Chain A
Amino acid sequence: MLYLVLLSLVEPGWKIADFGLTEEGASRIAYTTLHSRGTECYRAPELVRERSAVSMKSDIFALGCILFELVMARKAFPRDIHVFEYASNREIPAIVMPETVDDRVASYLTQLIHGMLQVDWWQRPPTRDILKLLSRLADGRDEIWSKSENGRYTRIHEPSQRSRLWKRLILLPQWSVLIHHSVGPALTSLVSNAPP
Chain B
Amino acid sequence: MSGVEEAIKNEVRVIEKVREKRGHPNIITVLKHGWLREEQYHFDMELCILNLEDYILGNFKSVLGIGRYYNPGLSRDTLSCLSLWGILSHIARGLEFLHASKEMHRDLKPRNGTLLSPFFFTVSFP
Contacts and interface: CB of A to CB of B under 8 A. Distances in A.
A107 interface: no
B63 interface: no
A6 B113 contact: no
Nearest to B17: A24
Nearest to A27: B104
A37 B106 contact: yes
Interface in A1-55: 1-27, 36-39, 41-42, 54-55
A137 to B, nearest CB: 7
A64 B44 CA distance: 30
Given A22-B10, A24-B13, A141-B85, A8 B109 contact: no
Interface in B1-40: 3, 7-8, 10-11, 13-15, 25-29
B105 A16 contact: yes
B78 A23 contact: no
Contact of A59 (B83, B108, B113, B117): B108
A96 B14 CA distance: 37
B69 to A, nearest CB: 10
Contact of A16 (B28, B55, B119, B120): B28
Contacts of B55: 147
A39 B106 CA distance: 9
A171 B66 CA distance: 13
Contacts of B103: 19, 22-24
B115 to A, nearest CB: 6
- Centre residue among B46, B58, B85 by max chain A CB count within 10 A: B85
Q: Which 7 A-B pairs have the closest CB atoms?
A: A20-B7, A62-B108, A127-B96, A14-B90, A19-B14, A16-B94, A17-B28
17 contacts: A8-B47, A9-B118, A14-B91, A15-B113, A16-B28, A16-B91, A16-B98, A16-B105, A18-B112, A19-B11, A19-B13, A56-B104, A59-B104, A59-B106, A63-B108, A131-B93, A141-B85
Interface of A: 1-27, 36-39, 41-42, 54-56, 58-60, 62-63, 66-67, 69-71, 73, 126-128, 130-131, 134, 137-138, 141, 144-147, 151, 153, 158, 164, 167-168, 171, 174, 178
